[in-house]
Structure 1
Amino acid sequence: MSLSCGDLANHNDRVVSLLNVCRKAPSFARTKALHALSITLCSVLLQPVYVCNNIISLYEKLGEVSLAGKVFDQMPERNKVSFNTIIKGYSKYGDVDKAWGVFSEMRYFGYLPNQSTVSGLLSCASLDVRAGTQLHGLSLKYGLFMADAFVGTCLLCLYGRLDLLEMAEQVFEDMPFKSLETWNHMMSLLGHRGFLKECMFFFRELVRMGASLTESSFLGVLKGVSCVKDLDISKQLHCSATKKGLDCEISVVNSLISAYGKCGNTHMAERMFQDAGSWDIVSWNAIICATAKSENPLKALKLFVSMPEHGFSPNQGTYVSVLGVSSLVQLLSCGRQIHGMLIKNGCETGIVLGNALIDFYAKCGNLEDSRLCFDYIRDKNIVCWNALLSGYANKDGPICLSLFLQMLQMGFRPTEYTFSTALKSCCVTELQQLHSVIVRMGYEDNDYVLSSLMRSYAKNQLMNDALLLLDWASGPTSVVPLNIVAGIYSRRGQYHESVKLISTLEQPDTVSWNIAIAACSRSDNHEEVIELFKHMLQSNIRPDKYTFVSILSLCSKLCDLTLGSSIHGLITKTDFSCADTFVCNVLIDMYGKCGSIRSVMKVFEETREKNLITWTALISCLGIHGYGQEALEKFKETLSLGFKPDRVSFISILTACRHGGMVKEGMGLFQKMKDYGVEPEMDHYRCAVDLLTRNGYLKEAEHLIREMPFPADAPVWRTFLDGCNRFAEEQRNTLNVVSFQ
């Protein structure tokens, strides 16, 4: 029975209508039914190639590439779209051999590749550099590269994926047409590899061109942010995103939280998180990671606990960050609870979480559990071994080296980190053996391994051998090993040699300057310290917190308030992020020793993350300047905030009570020391004896000395005798006054 033209058109319209339905709401059942219908009606359809191409596309989108391939193989007739669609499908799911086979077949049948063909193949994750360069050549031959930005952008992504950054940059330079996506991909490639300066050059070029920046434009650059010195750039990008109205986009918010965290500005990271209109799991991971690196990492644990309240469940990244915090603050019980959650979810044997657990238990000193976690991982890699070796290197050197040998026997190739870990715990014989392995495996010129070797030789008192390693190095020596040698000289008291070696460097880094400044400071060459610091600034080397601590410590030693205030002003003017708790504590001490209590209080109030040392420094400053009552109030406030006083805290408050004449309060605190887990030492007894004798309690002071659990040293007796003499002098003066009257 023959069909009329109207019937044929009817069948065709129905199939096309069904295709449209499947495209809008794709499902395997619908696509399979449509496929069956197309086979039934194949002989009467007006456009069987068009229908088959769409079925291939639908199967490909559903991940059923094998079925898409069968449809393609059974097609009696194909066109360029057929080849491009199946190439895209095979490439998307990583089957480069089949994709390349179809491409070859396409060319054999006389079809010339177009942008869609080449971009489909270039998107294949398993495409190697040889095939990529062939496609590069073909795109130039057929004019596809010069036609628009599409193929060039795909080539850019391929070379970036293969870590061929120079070739990616060359492609970018050669492209006659560049789309915004091209610029974004280039910035992303550079950002991933830490080339923030170059990223910012491209970003500013886009702004100058008046391009309509998108989220991706910001994400690529923000990936390049890595440390404190990048804070200004992060703020600039934040302002630019706000100006463009993109600061509410969740991906931009997440990247800014992460960037501020890497820059050490936890306050801004927390503010970004709180001000965000909505969160996703990436937001939580970003803020947990940021606070984990802050002065108060316990905030990260509080955020982790609060996640379920906001309807979020932790993922792998969350657990890794929180385990890192638990090991940092040595919360073994917290880490065990997280381990229990992972066992319950059945994911503790995965490679990423397994490594995190090994590292957590190792850093908490629980090597047995660390080893158990290691044994549970089925597919171990070098990272697992490194984590385990690191734990044993800090506690049990012989087992660490035994594990290192076992790792070699099992065919794992050590990395530079493996060698540096194993070198930590070596004695002389083992060190020499490891040195031989390093040479045999070609790591003797690796800066990281060379530096570790030097440290290990120095640790074993083989200083000359450590210095000889520089002469044996075949290539030009970088700044890091030279810094280590300079540090060795400094520790040996050879300060002149240390500074002399640093002066030979063409491009000394911040560490080099810090070593030189510290060496001059230890040799009491104070003028040279100031000159070095000035020269450092003139050389455009940004000081870090260690530089400022060295200079401020010198100011404390010299009681130079003018210089100390100038350094404080420089910190505030150039990069206040350098003024972390560590620096603020030294500032408080410096101002206290220079007698500026107002400045002490100002710095204390401005310190965002106060620790026990901050409070102790404040109490000490108040005490030595006669503000005993205020010091006592601050000590009580310290206790109320949950800080546990240590031996230094008690010396500070006892000294404050001594200067303030507060005998009752001071002796009360002295008697409570053991309640806080602090056993009174000689310095504490000396303070208590001085407190009693200064205020005329000589019998009580003598009784205290007799009750000491160890023999009193000369300074304790000297303090007692000075007190007796002072009291006798006061008595004589009183009698003279009475007699005169």
Structure 2
Amino acid sequence: MGSPHSSRLVFESFPYPDSFMYGVLIKCNVWCHLFDAAIDLYHRLVFEKTQISKFVFPSVLRACAGSRERLGIGEKVHGRIVKSGLDEDNVIETSLLCMYGQTGNLSDAEKVFDGMSVRDIVAWSTLVSSCLENGEVVEALRVFKCMVDDDGVEPDAVTMISVVEGCGELGCLRTAKNIVSWNSLISLYANKGMEIEALSLFRQMVTRRMRPDSFTLASSISSCVSDGLVRLGKQIHGHVVRTDVSDEFVQNSMIDMYSKNGLTDSACAVFGQIKDKGVVTWNSMLCGFSQNGNSLETINLFDYMYRNCLEINEVTFLAVIQVCSSIGSLEKGRWVHHKLILCGLKDLFTETALIDMYAKCGDLNAAETVFKAMSNKSIVSWSSMINAYGMHGRIGSAVSTFNQMVESGTKPNEVVFMNVLSACGHSGSVREGKLYFNLMKSFGISPNSEHFACFIDLLSRSGDLKEAYRTIKEMPFLADASVWGSLVNGCRIHQRMDIIKAIKKDLSEIVTDDTGYYTLLSNIYAEEGEWEEFRRMRSAMKSLRLKKVPGYSSIEIDQRVYRFGAGEEPCFGTEEIYRCLRNLQNVTLEAEYLQTNE
């Protein structure tokens, strides 16, 4: 349909636009949620006494439905429809029904419905939805019963979901007697993150001796991704094996369930048993490896798919690009980017992932090239580019990109501001950090714990520890370990043990599963020789069953990534690298000795 501004320019270029042209421009404005502009055009059309075609009215009624304050205008439009003899047009009748329902006038909506010559599934669904939107759940269920029992209309998925929501709100299943109803409710609960309720319904089905179909099983398995529910997932898996009710959806759900619970071996076992694997199945296993940090397995699986000319889509590329980003494999990332272009599959998600990958692999120029070539930029795309500049200490570019984003009409969210604050932290730009931290409220965003932690870290690293402490005390909620940890780290950098001692009571009240917090404090106490406090921190970690996460570094040589971690077995070439480092150390010492004696 194009932009409203461009459409308006074309429209105004005609000296005598007809009703059809008005209708197109009104519809364009409605699609862009410019309801007032659409209504103004309708009034202009009426004023010019041009004969109004039936094509115009549904869009105008949709504009009136956008707000309850426009009910009066909608009623006048209804009057003109009656005068024009178009009140029996099925599309216009449904639009009237929708307008009255969405503006809260349920009685008039029912009058329109009762007077309709043809009541199709769209009309019934609209009335059911209108009842639910106005809080009339019982009335919605009564309408649904009339639709099925009196008119014999077969409900579609939209109507069924609406009714199931009504059943859920009433806490009953009296109307849900067949497998479709049960499946709809289980799917609804699963999609809303109500896993326990979804699985409870599945158990009720089995108890009532109803035979679950593949849709039931897939939805129920998908609900077993939370902690503690994997055991139920395994039981449903056993049910699938016993009853042999399985298809691609069930198998993919099992791969996803096991992967999200960290059981990649079980996911692989299910994957290996599938004979005819579609692209969704391959992607499920690919994403499973990626989510669990199995980078090499992800890349190997992608290479196998590519070598064997298997079907590959955007999801496939997205998973492998994210892996290249996580392990810093620039050469492999470039190769994947090249294949993505050859396949002609790039989209908004893969392009944004490429920006992140190039930035994290050190090629900021490539990240900029991808970003500038994007025809459409989402808020995630803007945020990724801001984050890329921040990683490389380019605070000026990060701020400039933020300003461009705002000027383009994209409203920044919590993540964007987090990336801007992070960019300020990387470059030590305290003034800019304060500016953007305070700017959040102007966009209706309240700083969360992560924003405060980033801001406190910026202040603490710069040495403004008093301001950091004052900010913590003025927080609208209790500071967590990440916030206090930022202040403690600043105290360590500037050797202000006096402040750490002053906030000792605050620190002792923190309980967290963040190993970094306990490790930071224990290291500080060890450096100061406060062994009692050191042992207390280590004891707290032990009681919470926390272990220090070892650090590691990685380097890419000849398209292969080598990882070096504390306490790990030496990898290929390690001895040679250490020998080279020792030689460099000797050369450095020799140079220092010669310089001193000169």
Cα displacement string for residues 372-394 of structure 1 (whole angstroms, at most 9, x for unaligned residues): 33331525433233223222222
Q: Does 1:18 align with 2:107?
A: no
1:635-646 matches, within 5 Å, as none
Which residue matches 1:419? Answer: 519
> Is residue 515–residue 546 contact of structure 2 (8 Å, CA) maintained in 1?
no
- Alpha-carbon RMSD: 4.0
Displacement of 1:79: 1.2
> Is residue 355–residue 371 contact of structure 2 (8 Å, CA) maintained in 1?
yes
> Is residue 129–residue 162 contact of structure 2 (8 Å, CA) maintained in 1?
no
Which residue matches 2:187? Answer: 88
Which residue matches 1:528? Answer: none
Q: Does 1:57 align with 2:157?
A: no
AA of the residue aligned to 1:300: A
AA of the residue aligned to 2:586: S
1:481-520 matches, within 5 Å, as 481=566, 506-507=570-571, 516-520=579-583
Deviates more, 1:343-352 or 1:200-209: 343-352
Displacement of 1:507: 3.5
Displacement of 1:230: 0.5
Q: Does 1:38 align with 2:144?
A: yes
Q: Does 1:198 align with 2:297?
A: yes
Supply the distance in 1 between the matched residues of 2:277 and 2:128 (Cα, whole angstroms). 31
Query: Which runs of no fewer than 5 residues in structure 1 stay unpaired?
Result: 1-9, 453-477, 484-504, 525-549, 558-714, 716-741
Cα displacement string for residues 633-686 of structure 1 (whole angstroms, at most 9, x for unaligned residues): xxxxxxxxxxxxxxxxxxxxxxxxxxxxxxxxxxxxxxxxxxxxxxxxxxxxxx
AA of the residue aligned to 1:408: S
Q: Does 1:317 align with 2:378?
A: no
Cα displacement string for residues 395-441 of structure 1 (whole angstroms, at most 9, x for unaligned residues): 22343366466433344455144313541464453146404641564
AA of the residue aligned to 1:290: A
Which residue matches 1:689? Answer: none
Q: Does 1:394 align with 2:500?
A: no
Displacement of 1:156: 1.6
1:403-442 matches, within 5 Å, as 403=503, 406-412=506-512, 415-424=515-524, 426-431=526-531, 433-435=533-535, 437-438=537-538, 441-442=541-542
Supply the distance in 2 between the matched residues of 1:141 and 1:333 (Cα, whole angstroms). 65
1:260-271 matches, within 5 Å, as 260-271=358-369
SS at match of 2:323: coil
Which residue matches 2:343? Answer: 244
Cα displacement string for residues 516-567 of structure 1 (whole angstroms, at most 9, x for unaligned residues): 434333334xxxxxxxxxxxxxxxxxxxxxxxxx8xx99x99xxxxxxxxxx
1:192-231 matches, within 5 Å, as 192-226=291-325, 229-231=328-330
Supply the distance in 2 between the matched residues of 1:222 and 1:449 (Cα, whole angstroms). 25
Aligned counterpart for 1:378 among listed residues 454, 477, 481: 477
> Is residue 229–residue 263 contact of structure 1 (8 Å, CA) maintained in 2?
yes
Displacement of 1:254: 0.6
Query: Which runs of no fewer than 5 residues in structure 2 stay unpaired?
Result: 1-114, 553-562, 593-597
> Is residue 457–residue 490 contact of structure 2 (8 Å, CA) maintained in 1?
yes
Q: Does 1:523 align with 2:596?
A: no
SS at match of 1:94: coil
AA of the residue aligned to 2:205: M
Displacement of 1:150: 1.0
Displacement of 1:29: 5.4
Q: Does 1:70 align with 2:175?
A: no
Supply the distance in 1 between the matched residues of 2:311 and 2:206 (Cα, whole angstroms). 39
Supply the distance in 2 between the matched residues of 1:272 and 1:169 (Cα, whole angstroms). 35
Supply the distance in 1 between the matched residues of 2:141 and 2:156 (Cα, whole angstroms). 8
Supply the distance in 2 between the matched residues of 1:225 and 1:451 (Cα, whole angstroms). 19
CA change 1:351–1:55 in 2 (3 A) is same
TM-score (norm 2): 0.68
> Is residue 188–residue 220 contact of structure 1 (8 Å, CA) maintained in 2?
yes
Which residue matches 1:278? Answer: 376
AA of the residue aligned to 2:121: V
Displacement of 1:143: 1.0
Cα displacement string for residues 52-111 of structure 1 (whole angstroms, at most 9, x for unaligned residues): 986441256xxxx35445386232x71111111111112222333332232222223321
Aligned counterpart for 1:189 among listed residues 269, 288, 291: 288
Cα displacement string for residues 596-646 of structure 1 (whole angstroms, at most 9, x for unaligned residues): xxxxxxxxxxxxxxxxxxxxxxxxxxxxxxxxxxxxxxxxxxxxxxxxxxx
Cα displacement string for residues 692-740 of structure 1 (whole angstroms, at most 9, x for unaligned residues): xxxxxxxxxxxxxxxxxxxxxxx9xxxxxxxxxxxxxxxxxxxxxxxxx
CA change 1:427–1:274 in 2 (3 A) is closer
CA change 1:349–1:272 in 2 (3 A) is closer
> Is residue 482–residue 517 contact of structure 2 (8 Å, CA) maintained in 1?
no
Which residue matches 2:70? Answer: none
Which residue matches 1:347? Answer: 445
SS at match of 2:401: helix
Cα displacement string for residues 176-205 of structure 1 (whole angstroms, at most 9, x for unaligned residues): 342211211222232234433211211122
Aligned counterpart for 1:140 among listed residues 241, 262, 267: 241
SS at match of 2:463: coil
> Is residue 253–residue 272 contact of structure 1 (8 Å, CA) maintained in 2?
yes
Which residue matches 2:259? Answer: 160
User: Which structure has the larger Rg?
Assistant: 1
Cα displacement string for residues 236-277 of structure 1 (whole angstroms, at most 9, x for unaligned residues): 111111011123x11111111111111100010001111112
> Is residue 389–residue 397 contact of structure 2 (8 Å, CA) maintained in 1?
yes
Supply the distance in 1 between the matched residues of 2:181 and 2:529 (Cα, whole angstroms). 68
Supply the distance in 2 between the matched residues of 1:311 and 1:211 (Cα, whole angstroms). 41
1:688-707 matches, within 5 Å, as none
CA change 1:187–1:373 in 2 (3 A) is farther
Deviates more, 1:207-216 or 1:232-241: 207-216
Aligned counterpart for 1:129 among listed residues 194, 218, 230: 230
Displacement of 1:206: 1.8
SS at match of 2:324: coil
CA change 1:310–1:86 in 2 (3 A) is same
CA change 1:200–1:307 in 2 (3 A) is same
Supply the distance in 2 between the matched residues of 1:370 and 1:513 (Cα, whole angstroms). 46
AA of the residue aligned to 2:404: S
What is the number of equivalent residue pairs in this alignment? 465
> Is residue 128–residue 159 contact of structure 2 (8 Å, CA) maintained in 1?
no
Supply the distance in 2 between the matched residues of 1:362 and 1:382 (Cα, whole angstroms). 15
> Is residue 225–residue 234 contact of structure 1 (8 Å, CA) maintained in 2?
yes
Supply the distance in 2 between the matched residues of 1:231 and 1:289 (Cα, whole angstroms). 18
AA of the residue aligned to 1:183: W
Supply the distance in 2 between the matched residues of 1:521 and 1:343 (Cα, whole angstroms). 52
Which structure ranks higher in relative contact order (CA pairs < 8 Å, sequence separation ≥ 6)? 2
Supply the distance in 2 between the matched residues of 1:331 and 1:234 (Cα, whole angstroms). 32
Supply the distance in 2 between the matched residues of 1:409 and 1:228 (Cα, whole angstroms). 37
Supply the distance in 2 between the matched residues of 1:287 and 1:343 (Cα, whole angstroms). 23
CA change 1:278–1:38 in 2 (3 A) is closer
Supply the distance in 1 between the matched residues of 2:327 and 2:551 (Cα, whole angstroms). 25
1:621-640 matches, within 5 Å, as none
AA of the residue aligned to 1:100: L
AA of the residue aligned to 1:314: P
Supply the distance in 1 between the matched residues of 2:514 and 2:307 (Cα, whole angstroms). 48
AA of the residue aligned to 1:520: N
Supply the distance in 2 between the matched residues of 1:13 and 1:141 (Cα, whole angstroms). 48
Displacement of 1:11: 11
Supply the distance in 2 between the matched residues of 1:25 and 1:197 (Cα, whole angstroms). 52
TM-score (norm 1): 0.56
AA of the residue aligned to 2:584: S
Supply the distance in 1 between the matched residues of 2:183 and 2:306 (Cα, whole angstroms). 36
> Is residue 91–residue 123 contact of structure 1 (8 Å, CA) maintained in 2?
yes
Aligned counterpart for 1:79 among listed residues 178, 182, 187: 178
SS at match of 1:277: coil
